[in-house]
A and B are shown apart, each in its own frame.
Chain A
Amino acid sequence: MASSIIQRIGAATSFDTNNNYFHRRSFSGRQSSFVVVRSDGANITTRLKPNGGRTHHLVTNAVATKPHTSAASKPGHEILLFDALREGLEEEMDRDPRVCIMGEDVGHYGGSYKVTKGLAPKYGDLRVLDTPIAENAFTGMGIGAAMTGLRPIIEGMNMGFLLLAFNQISNNCGMLHYTSGGQFKIPVVIRGPGGVGRQLGAEHSQRLESYFQSIPGIQMVACSTPYNAKGLMKAAIRSDNPVILFEHVLLYNLKETIPDEEYVLNLEEAEMVRPGQHVTILTYSRMRYHVMQAAKTLVNKGYDPEVIDIRSLKPFDLHTIGNSVKKTHRVLIVEECMRTGGIGASLTAAINENFHDYLDAPIVCLSSQDVPTPYAGTLEEWTVVQPPQIVAAVEQLCQ
């Protein structure tokens, strides 16, 4: 047990067993894997388990659990995901006067999903700026402001609208730090709701992570729980790189108890949702919940899936993923992107390249079909991967 701890920690960070825990690591190279750190600093041992040292019992709990909250003395507070994002925003705006928000209807209207609610009355109309409708223009505006010292958070009312901002995001946001010879940095956060599920029709059900993943110079993360939403929001704001934070339209009302103390998560880290032995299921955002639902069924059938929410879409946390692959030798990717050119496609390639020797079976990737998302409820539902399909895929993989 002790040896695995030492192995895991590496040289990077020190653990602060106080309850006021705040960790973050730089983007360069990594030597250790870190689990999502929860509020209680106690019980390091159990938290370091996921990738080694635990061979005996099956974790029968299929749903993501907070490890050993019974040992916690801090109560935390219950919060909905959109509110957790807002909390993260507010804390960062309090901390750094250079942080500002811009987008359509983010001011007194509070944003399309109320993520910025209450911030305009508190910080004023200038810091929480309502812009006219021109995505390329306000994205460009955010970039210009970032180059001259501010830290803007740019909201796309729906991720799909950011396609109009592609020029600024690709040609400038991702590039200007590079082309200026490192003279100007672009610490922007571009965020917004995306994904399928509210019967919003094809144009409002885009998965932009597919299109943006090639752009050099940007980072992409996807949040899926109130806890990681707040932590990733804060990390994204503090990062000096441009970060695109993908939220999902269906997840804004998720409820969870999160710590009262401040915490910031690591942008490049994946989250171990459910440790297991038989198969590695990689997923992110909303599909995490379909996977966990399928996991319940799988557990009943006697399987032990390891579920990882990859969270970091660019770059992939190949360390966590790799360790999992080395343990289970089977990989299933469940994503909402379309088959062609999605995150799953890139992830498949990356795992094949790096961990080919450890695979006992070809990687299976479950994605949405290569179709525009239809409006009708049933049709829309069937364009995304459903739990029975996940169960069937695992069963086939583990034959």
Chain B
Amino acid sequence: MTIWLAVTRGANYRTKTLISTAFRSLRTSLTTFASGDAREGTSRKPAYMSSGTYYRSSHFGASEARQQVNHFSSDDEEDKSQVLDFPGGPVPYTDEMRFLPGSSEKRVQCYRVLDDEGYPLSSTQFQHVRKEVAVKMYSGMVTLQAMDTVIYEAQRQGRISFYMTSYGEEAVNLGSVAALSDDDIVLPQYREPGVMLWRGFELQQFVDQFFGNKNDIGKGRQMPTHYGSNKHNVLTISAPLATQLPQAVGAAYSLKMDKKDACVVTYFGDGCSSEGDFHASLNFAAVMEVPIVYICRNNGWAISTPVTEQFRIDGIVVKGQAYGIQSIRVDGNDVLAVYNAVRAAREIAIKEQRPILIEALTYRVGHHSTSDDSTKYRPVDEIEHWKTARNPVSIFRKWIQRSGWWSDKEESEFRANIRKQVIHAVQVAEKTEKAPIGNIFSDVYEKLPKNLMEQEKLLKETVKRYPRDFPNAPL
């Protein structure tokens, strides 16, 4: 708790921004419904909100309106007559015409636990992780790397058509999911296979999905890396960006209705934050007061568009404020930082029934997908730097070995073993029959309708009649 409090109420933020009465007044008018009672009986100086607070209404009757008051010393004396009574709260007038700055001079600080060499920062107050969790996180990261390597090679060999790697983002993947409970509903974007891995989705299941064979949980219908599993509380990935964000609000709404001790976690990238759905979703989540943790993987690139061309503001963390959402920026390559932040965020989201935004700064070491060659639009040494000096897996490996929970021997054994497992899974998946033709038509509706029955019949007849044109068709 103290960690996030320190960040949101960081002294730097308050003093550095140009605070004028106009600024403060805009702030109060940005808050949601003010209950009149809280305002009465205050001192002559109007109450202002600090950066880390918000004003909630008792909209659903369930939550109490809370207010944290922070009194700034104002430049000028203001009496109550200089106040506009406006929905949302009284707005103090000013005779100074001052524009709010578009952004603050200093960038929002980034929370980290380990330094680049894997040593805990001296002043850090991180929550200690147990050995099992740490080892599981680390082995998950290595597994993810192994899977990426083998499958990427398989795609290049023409054995599957498409793949998206998660190089460089292993810490965001595993650090976040490790902090969740199995009841938390996850809506990924497409670069979070670590979530499924952690929750027990088998390597073979992954590879079956990539091959679209008859064992594919998605029945051969979605692109590789666009999986989902009801059993593991991970909703199926949809390719268009940001569609999962409003859906996440819906899922959180359903949790709120059921009063479950769980939250929704949804992932998205820096480019995705430009989509309209992102803004609407944050706004909805704040207004509906639902338990949802937004995790933004700011990896610097949206295919070939760098963040400098994606938005004109200090990243995604500052956007939370525009919607009344508490936000934090973390070092996405530091597993322990991600773990801590998500754990804390989850607690707030569930206990206080409101959204939290986490921006994880990381780097997309690999290409956007197998259809992309990122060396065409970014310098190779930049990629190399993040691949080596800021590699999340190596940083964490240093820490975990120093803690005595891992060794070089285990490392080489594990890597060799897991690579073999993935290769074996590929070989099995390749030999498995493709998804049957019937899968084209089933699940479009709850039950197969007449027109689709006819269309299926027609297709199967055609396949039977021209076997040479439809070789190996799995009827």
Contacts and interface: CB of A to CB of B under 8 A. Distances in A.
B257 A136 contact: no
A145 B60 CA distance: 18
Query: What bracket does the count of chain A residues touching chain B fall in?
Result: 35 or more
Given A181-B236, A183-B230, 4 more contacts: A132-B280, A168-B246, A180-B230, A219-B445
13 contacts: A126-B256, A134-B276, A137-B246, A141-B249, A144-B249, A145-B251, A147-B247, A148-B254, A149-B254, A152-B250, A171-B238, A171-B240, A184-B228
Contacts, number: 172
B236 A144 contact: no
Given A28-B449, A140-B277, A180 B228 contact: yes
Interface in A120-157: 124-127, 129, 131-132, 134, 136-150, 152
Interface in A18-42: 26-30
Given A141-B246, A171-B238, A136 B276 contact: yes
Q: Interface centre among A26, A141, A171, A219, by most B CB within 10 Å?
A: A141
Given A125-B61, A144-B250, A148-B185, A27 B238 contact: no
Nearest to A125: B60
B59 interface: yes
Contacts of A177: 443-446
Nearest to B450: A29
A184 B222 CA distance: 14
A149 B255 CA distance: 9
Contact of B250 (A26, A132, A146, A178): A146
B38 interface: no
A70 interface: no
A136 B444 CA distance: 22
Contact of A183 (B59, B226, B236): B236
B360 interface: no
Contacts of A182: 219, 442-443
Contacts of B443: 177-178, 181-182
B253 interface: yes
A167 interface: yes
A279 to B, nearest CB: 26
B10 to A, nearest CB: 30
A100 B288 CA distance: 14
A287 B249 CA distance: 39
A216 B250 contact: no
B247 A26 contact: no
A138 B257 CA distance: 16
A168 B280 CA distance: 13
Given A29-B450, A183-B217, A240-B446, A175 B280 contact: no
Nearest to A240: B446
A241 B445 contact: yes
Interface string A161-188: 0000001100110011111111111000
Given A167-B243, A176-B236, A140 B250 contact: yes
Q: Interface centre among A134, A138, A149, A179, by most B CB within 10 Å?
A: A179
Q: Interface centre among A125, A137, A171, by most B CB within 10 Å?
A: A137
A141 B445 CA distance: 21
B252 to A, nearest CB: 8
Interface in A218-233: 219
B258 to A, nearest CB: 8
Interface in A339-361: none
A15 B219 CA distance: 39
B283 A27 contact: no
Nearest to B253: A145
Contact of A171 (B218, B228, B243, B453): B243
A168 to B, nearest CB: 6
A180 B234 CA distance: 10
A141 B450 contact: no
The 3 tightest CB contacts between A and B, nearest first, are A140-B246, A144-B250, A144-B247
B449 A27 contact: yes
Nearest to B185: A148
A172 B247 contact: yes
Nearest to A136: B277
A127 B288 CA distance: 12
Contact of A178 (B221, B249, B280): B221
Nearest to B282: A137
A201 interface: no
Contacts of B451: 315
A217 interface: yes
A143 B445 contact: no
Contacts of A142: 250
Given A141-B246, A180-B236, A136 B256 contact: no
B284 interface: yes
B447 A28 contact: yes
B247 A181 contact: no
Contacts of B240: 167, 171
B281 interface: yes
A142 B247 CA distance: 7
